[in-house]
Amino acid sequence: MFGEQKVSYSGVQPSGNLTIGNYLGALRNFSEYSQQYKTFYCVVDQHAITVRQVPAELRRRTYETLALYMACGLDPEKNTLYVQSMVREHASLAWILNCFTMFGELSRMTQFKDKSAKHADNINAGLFTYPVLMASDILLYQTDVVPVGIDQKQHVELCRDIAERFNQIYPDTFTVPTPVISKQGMKIMSLADPTKKMSKSDENVNAVVYILDDRDTIIRKFKRAVTDSGSEVRAADDKPGITNLMNIYSCFTGKSLEEIEREFAGVGYGEFKLAVGEATADALAPVQEEFRQRLADKAGLEAQMKRGAEEASYYARRTLSKVEKKLGFVQIR
């Protein structure tokens, strides 16, 4: 916490198109936090390079992610929006925190195991220490709450452990953050395999609905979505396909699962899938229009990058200076 106002921190990687899972579970809810917290929203481009990137594409997606933040309702006047690599304190604190993180803790991280399996030809040290950089992102801003998807909860728990360990040696250094997981849209599943989470890296394009997919593409993907045996629109453990579609429809319309069951009683899967596609496309249309306008103003995005980085650096320097002083690093101003 800086002063009286509590802090909320979130970051999104500029690594591929963001999905409706990213939107429903995170992006759509971000703007609410600015009413109660001092909010930092970061394009975490340093995290992205644990996997090999094409430089021109990484730069393009960095602009796109910042534009998408704003298109999803994040007012730059009320939120600090910035790019991670433009605030050097992130990397500096990450090295220090590496020295307070145990090898065994990192080896137990589920995402490291998953990504190592996917990228067996590039299991680099950055992939292993990724959670420490994430801890640095969070702790630099004396963060109180971290809105995250359930797949990132383990990393925030590690961040808490690192902060508490550091505080035991050097008291009152870091605020210990709390993960906040959105219940609505918490886990949107693949349209091709509803037992797996929808992932922007899925090789099957029909399994994933992207925020920037056009209307026809969205509806076509939902029409092709895998469903279950029978034809009843009903949420149940033995109906993962239709339950996933009902969850998506619920998120975009605000209707409960019970209301959806009544609305589509006696209606086949085909008609329901079309309704889900149309509701999704309708909800995303204004976001897409705002995104196009923001992206077309490159100078405006660059001005925001500069302004956001300057503001973020102001807070980050305060924490890093405090840490370095406690460690015994020489500070000459």
Which helix (DSSP H) or strand (DSSP E) does residue 39 occupy?
strand 38-43
Alpha carbon 304 to its chain centroid, in Å, reads 20
List the catalytic residue out of 6, 187, 197, 223. Answer: 197
Can you tell me the distance from the alpha carbon of 31 to that of 21, in angstroms, rounded to the nearest whole number? 17
Q: Is 115 a catalytic residue?
A: yes
Which helix (DSSP H) or strand (DSSP E) does residue 165 occupy?
helix 153-169
Residue 274 region by backbone torsions, left for phi larger than 0, else alpha for psi between -120 and 50, else beta: alpha
Q: Which residue has the tokens 């307070």?
A: 100
**pLDDT at 321 exceeding the cut of 60:** yes
- Select the more confidently predicted residue: 58 or 51: 58
- The string of DSSP codes covering 60-113 is HHHHHHHHHHHHTT--TTTSEEEEGGG-THHHHHHHHHHTTS-HHHHHT-HHHH
List the catalytic residue out of 6, 78, 153, 200. Answer: 200
pLDDT band at 112 (very low <50, low <70, confident <90, very high): confident
State the pLDDT at residue 301.
97
How large a percentage of the chain has pLDDT more than 90? Answer: 71
pLDDT band at 83 (very low <50, low <70, confident <90, very high): very high
**pLDDT at 62 exceeding the cut of 80:** yes
**pLDDT at 166 exceeding the cut of 80:** yes
Q: Is 221 a catalytic residue?
A: no
Q: Give the residue-averaged pLDDT of 48-62.
A: 93
Nearest partner of 232 among 266, 256, 193, judged by Cα: 266
Q: Is 118 a catalytic residue?
A: no
Q: Give the residue-averaged pLDDT of 87-100.
A: 98
The single-letter DSSP state of residue 49 is T
**pLDDT at 1 exceeding the cut of 70:** no
Q: Which residue has the tokens 């990213």?
A: 22
List the catalytic residue out of 115, 221, 239, 273. Answer: 115
How large a percentage of the chain has pLDDT more than 70? Answer: 97
**pLDDT at 16 exceeding the cut of 80:** no
pLDDT band at 278 (very low <50, low <70, confident <90, very high): very high
Bridge partners, residue 8, by sequence: 39, 145
Chain segment 237-269, per-residue pLDDT in tens = 889 999 999 999 999 999 999 999 999 998 889
**pLDDT at 152 exceeding the cut of 90:** no
305 contacts: CB under 8 Å, gap ≥ 6 = 66, 82, 83, 86
**pLDDT at 185 exceeding the cut of 60:** no
Chain segment 193-205, per-residue pLDDT in tens = 999 989 888 889 8
Check: pTM over 0.85? Answer yes or no. yes
- Which domains occur in the chain, in start order? 7-185+298-327 (3.40.50.620), 205-291 (1.10.240.10)
